[in-house]
Structure 1
């Protein structure tokens, strides 16, 4: 799993055209302190772990409206990847009982009593009917489902994602509203640009098969220092510290391909007034990819990727930015069921028939990749196992 965080810091400025050295230095000190508090813990040493955190750039701005405004922001993103490689064995008896008698679980674990669904056909069985859209952070992982083997015909069998929305239908934007002096139209633009980024980076079948994510890159501001250069470098020459998987979901088409046309999606988007007098958008989504080997095998495996990103559409009248383009502030990512020791820029799912055993099996902690209540960057470190796929 991986965690990228980039904070671009330039707080509310006075309306005058200049700022005193004392005020600016105090602002830098406060920002640096806040970033240290919010930064994720350093990962433990292991293959596929990003080994360094890109440092916060600091510099006095050369002007409020006329200077190189991106010097007022941190242009790089600190990143961390965590890989959870091996499929865990579920408690078959317990999940079978739950599947047949969900009423045995207190409350309404399947969320079938409220809300509207998106991206899947409705049904009368609460175990297979689509879930309502996620409108708040979950407080617990999804309930267990009946153990079942995925197939080409049913690639999400035995997965909580069976009830999730299909593809882009799962990225449901909130209703845009004005944010004080920020008009509704600018809020709507920020939301649409964020969705375009998410869809191309995670759901475009060509990008998933290794193609360049042109649409996703097109919404990012080229004036933001280093970001596009770093992403371009990661796509051209992947490495442990510059990995396209930080932001894009990609599989090597020589090794694996999607099992069918559906990628399951679940998550939510929120917005608020940002640090740079613009629209800040927070997105937290999990994507489930069913794949088969490219050699013609019909065995299906699933890789689960969760992404959390923060972007902002800054006020172009106060900062020298590209109007309509997003500033990338933070990006975190976890990948469940992907090899931990390969840094070629692709996800490498492990198939049940190829799972290592004995001394070759990972010994790290077990993680539920479907648990959207878990805060990224706060879990155990190391190359471990996933409890289910």
Structure 2
């Protein structure tokens, strides 16, 4: 047993210099016992003979590659706990993402495919532009949702929603030589035909009732009878001289266009002409959204289909003006305009009121059906349209 420490001078020595202890004997004995026990518990222990044998066998198997990787330690609990923590974090992130997605869909349900909540907004497939028309369609466009057109969406509920805007809908075919007519002359004829269509049906001033000067400038002045008839109709329209047979015009005191977009769809073809040049046929439909000039903002649409046959003749062989078109034939079909009104303007009918003129008494026609030829019936009755 270790000796108890003695205390130096000034630390418990008696006045006579003898040593004395301030620690009782029983407490000192307990201190020594606790210290020896702690030393024995922390001292390294010699492994048993059996443990040494097992360790040596495992070391030999490891050297021969007979043990799987990680046999020494296995998955440490810290590592396992780390993976659990990562899983918790992952689920937390996923939970936040799902919550954000739910909130976004709640604000804009149209983001889900198929419009499952019936919001009425057109899906991407429904509103995607149609490819250019290169041949006659085989059927009328499918039915559209019965949506009411508005100032913001004037083509809602119409097949024209997917049509091209204005001039973009007049796509010229590739010009190729026709007989002895070179490709350059064919291209000139196609461009002049487009200029005629634009000036007669898309020019903003002409659509609002002004004189269609741009369209008239394309026509050959050496067709005096034609130009005289058109001028007469523009000055003094009548049943025999009605300019709407060639030009799309609205009375500015009655109706005004909604926005700047007129939907356009059609095609153009060409062949060898009868006067040494190239003949072009243009078949196009134009859709005009309008409102009353001085009434409530109720939107309606008038649909006009025009078929033109023109020719760019050979000025070396015929008495024609170079760079001008001969208008051989023109035809039209007008949907949603007053019948038997010949004042030189289109008169759209609005759902809330009856249009001028007699009620339609002819057959029902789909004005969007471009798969059929223009049919005037017996010519004595005003037809009705199945949709606008």
Category of TM-score, reference length = shorter chain? 0.5 to 0.7
Which of the pair has more CA radius of gyration? 2
1:180 CA drift (Å)? 2.4
Q: Which has the higher contact order (CA 8 A, sep 6+)?
A: 1
Which residue number corresponds to residue 352 of structure 2? Answer: 353
The gaps in structure 1 that reach 5 residues or longer are 1-99, 102-122
CA-CA distance at 1:362 after TM superposition: 2.8
Alignment of 1:299-378 (within 5 A): 299-355=298-354, 361-377=359-375
Q: Deviations over 1:99-142 (max 9, x none)?
A: x79xxxxxxxxxxxxxxxxxxxxx97221101000000112111
- Gaps spanning 5+ residues in structure 2: where? 1-113, 116-121
- Listed one character per residue, the Cα deviations across residues 66-96 of structure 1 (whole Å, up to 9, x for unaligned) are xxxxxxxxxxxxxxxxxxxxxxxxxxxxxxx
CA offset digits 1:237-276 (Å, max 9, x no partner): 1000100001000000000000111000000001111011
SS in 1 for 2:309: strand
Q: Which runs of 4+ in 1 moved over 4 A?
A: 378-381
CA distance in 1, matches of 2:359, 2:273: 45
Q: Secondary structure at the match of 2:200?
A: helix
Q: TM-score, structure 1 length as denominator?
A: 0.66
> TM-score scaled by structure 2?
0.67
CA distance in 2, matches of 1:139, 1:378: 20
In 1, the alpha carbon distance for the partners of 2:313 and 2:217 equals 16
The structure with the greater share of residues assigned to helix is 2
Q: Provide the C-alpha distance between the structure 2 equivalents of 1:306 and 1:371, rounded to a whole number of angstroms.
A: 10
Kept in 2: contact 1:339–1:347 (CA 8 A):
yes
Q: Who is 2:212 aligned against? A: 213
Q: How does 1:162-177 map onto structure 2 within 5 Å?
A: 162-177=161-176
Distance (whole Å) between structure 2 residues aligned to residue 131 and residue 380 of structure 1: 34
Number of residue equivalences: 268
Which position in structure 1 is the counterpart of 2:235? 236
Instruction: Calculate the aligned-residue CA RMSD, in Å.
Output: 1.9
Offset at 1:378? 5.6
> Post-superposition shift, 1:177?
1.2
The question of 1:247 aligning with 2:240 is answered no
Query: Which whole-Å CA distance do the structure 1 matches of 2:307 and 2:359 have between them?
Result: 29
| Residue correspondence of structure 1 range 289-300 to structure 2 within 5 A | 289-300=288-299
- Contact 1:365–1:380 (8 Å) recurs in 2: no
